[in-house]
Amino acid sequence: MAGQTLYDKLWQDHLVKSREDGTALIYIDRHLIHEVTSPQAFEGLRLAGRGLWRKDSLVATPDHNVPSERAERAGGVAGIRDEVSRIQVQTLDENCNDFEVVQFGINEPGQGIVHVIGPETGATLPGMTVVCGDSHTSTHGALGALAHGIGTSEVEHVMATQCLIQKKMKNMLVRVDGELGPGVTAKDVVLAIIGKIGTAGGTGYAIEFGGSAIRNMSMEGRMTICNMAIEAGARAGMVAVDQVTLDYVNGKPYAPKGEQWERAVENWSRLHSDADAVFDAVVELAAEEIEPQVSWGTSPEMVASVNARVPDPAAEADQTRRTGIERALEYMGLSAGQAIGDIRLDRVFIGSCTNSRIEDLRAAAAVAKGRRKADSVKQVLVVPGSQSVKAQAEQEGLHEIFTAAGFEWREPSCSMCLAMNADKLGAGEHCASTSNRNFEGRQGYGGRTHLVSPAMAAAAAVAGHFVDVREFVAAGETA
């Protein structure tokens, strides 16, 4: 018999029951909730007179529409100016009280973007099944966990039964071997992967990311990669457990301790694909060939290297793809063949569950240090992913580097990633963003998003247009 993949093992460990029709009940260890996709689920429980199956499996935090601006944020929930947003955050408070769910409240130390606080607190651990009513739940797969984004009906289902009804997905291995060049980051790797396989390339698969370039990456980098598995169409992305994982998890507030830690480590040591495991699909990339990436269109697969040009739809043979490119260029206000480096930015956003961890902020600060944002750039937002990232960054003095560069240092939230709070793009504005989606209107009505790494975003903020961060740093260029 062929060996098992990491996904096979995680699936098997959580299999409660296989049904004849090919579906299965999968036990869920950790259920993260936030204010946007949970209210209707709690309401559903109330209407049906149901309770939570295991309330200590839930951890809540408000992130999507809490204000990032310091003065407004200081007022807590009551201080949220937008009434509809306030009601949503209040509703989370009330539901957590009524159902006795642990919540990291709006200004409490543990608060942050749900996918940032899970791993950093140890609320999500290797070997767990993790769900959240949010598609970027795949992030937690970086720990060697099986993490799915789910819809609100499924949120309610997990609340009431602790299980998810699932059909087993197929296995895909994305292997990135070799060494990344200086200035090339996890974000560039994942954008390159999506550019290669397309936004539907991973549909129906659980993707395991492997290869030496992934092995040599920090946990933060692996989270950035798994975060965007969904942008390749895969509900779950994951990385095998290794020493990097263990070193990261050890000592986290809710990670096992003492004798429990020893037992857990032993249990986790099998969380990797067997050497003879068979994957349904294998995709390979050479790390050396990956350059800093910039998205030019309205789908994350529409990416190019920073030194390339915006594609010409006329060169595309496939009709659906050609009209897709034409529409994207029109929306983005770009012309065919335009150099990526000629795209001028109006705003820059450094944050989101993709790139708001300490390492991301360090990378941005390293570029921003001693430089200033270009006058033509209206605003540069730096939004740490959690209260603890914020505290750490301030301890390292990163906030001072940012403010000296004319960047704004904000409070932990999703912020301009999806513009549910006050941080938005105006119509027609171009934004260099470290987030994960460049869909039409995602960052504000008519806004134009370009996905990049934190270092590339900071360099673009200083230059006012996209620049190759490798040359930029080497040349010591200033605005």
Partner 1 sequence: MKAFTQHQGLVAPMDRANVDTDLIIPKQFLKSIKRTGFGPNLFDELRYLDEGAPGQDCSQRPLNPDFPLNQERYRGASVLLARKNFGCGSSREHAPWALDDYGFRAIIAPSFADIFFNNCFKNGLLPIVLDEDTVAQLFEEMYAQEGYALTIDLEQQQVVKPDGTTIPFEVDSFRKHCLLNGLDDIGLTLEDADAISAYEAKRREQAPWLFDAVK
Catalog residues that contact ligand SF4 under the rule CB under 6 A: 63-64, 113, 115, 134, 136, 352-353, 414, 417-418, 435-436
Provide the sign of the torsion angle of the four alpha carbons 403, 388, 451, 327, taken in this order. Answer: negative
* Cβ at position 260, least distance to ligand SF4 in Å: 30
* Cβ at position 98, least distance to partner 1 in Å: 14
Q: What residue 46 binds from partner 1, ligand SF4, none (CB within 5 to 8 A, per partner kind)?
A: none
The SS3 assignment for 350 reads strand
Q: How many angstroms separate the Cα of 255 from the Cα of each of 102, 262, 270, 303?
A: 16, 11, 18, 38
* Cβ at position 352, least distance to ligand SF4 in Å: 4
Give the H or E element holding residue 176. Answer: strand 170-177
* Cβ at position 414, least distance to ligand SF4 in Å: 3
Q: What residue 432 binds from ligand SF4, partner 1, none (CB within 5 to 8 A, per partner kind)?
A: none
Known binding-site residues for [4Fe-4S] cluster equal: 353, 414, 417
* Cβ at position 60, least distance to partner 1 in Å: 10
- Using alpha carbons, select from 218, 238, 263, 262 the residue that is nearest to residue 143: 238
Give me 245's structure tokens.
């994982």
Phi-psi region of 42 (alpha: psi -120 to 50; beta: other; left: phi over 0): alpha
Known binding-site residues equal: 353, 414, 417
* Cβ at position 64, least distance to partner 1 in Å: 8
Contacts of 178 (CB under 8 A, 6+ apart): 211, 212, 213, 286, 287, 288
Q: What residue 149 binds from partner 1, ligand SF4, none (CB within 5 to 8 A, per partner kind)?
A: partner 1
CB distance 388 to 41 below 8 Å:
no
Which is nearer to ligand SF4, 64 or 470 (by Cβ)? 64
Which is nearer to ligand SF4, 136 or 157 (by Cβ)? 136
Which is nearer to partner 1, 185 or 449 (by Cβ)? 449
How far is residue 353's CA from residue 118's CA, in Å, rounded to a whole number?
Answer: 11
Q: What residue 133 binds from partner 1, ligand SF4, none (CB within 5 to 8 A, per partner kind)?
A: partner 1
* Cβ at position 356, least distance to partner 1 in Å: 18
Which is nearer to ligand SF4, 63 or 156 (by Cβ)? 63
The SS3 assignment for 132 reads strand
List phi, psi (to 5°) of 203: -60, 130
Which is nearer to partner 1, 64 or 187 (by Cβ)? 64
CB distance 116 to 435 below 8 Å:
no
Which is nearer to partner 1, 414 or 469 (by Cβ)? 414
Which is nearer to ligand SF4, 4 or 435 (by Cβ)? 435
Which is nearer to partner 1, 4 or 185 (by Cβ)? 4
How far is residue 435's CA from residue 201's CA, in Å, rounded to a whole number?
Answer: 20
Please provide the size of the chain in residues. Answer: 479
Q: What residue 353 binds from partner 1, ligand SF4, none (CB within 5 to 8 A, per partner kind)?
A: ligand SF4
How far is residue 230's CA from residue 224's CA, in Å, rounded to a whole number?
Answer: 12
Q: What residue 404 binds from partner 1, ligand SF4, none (CB within 5 to 8 A, per partner kind)?
A: none
CB distance 383 to 415 below 8 Å:
yes
CB distance 349 to 415 below 8 Å:
yes
Residue with tokens 């994207």: 328
Question: Identity (one letter) of the amino acid at 180?
Answer: L
Q: What residue 113 binds from partner 1, ligand SF4, none (CB within 5 to 8 A, per partner kind)?
A: ligand SF4
* Cβ at position 153, least distance to partner 1 in Å: 4
Q: What residue 97 binds from partner 1, ligand SF4, none (CB within 5 to 8 A, per partner kind)?
A: none
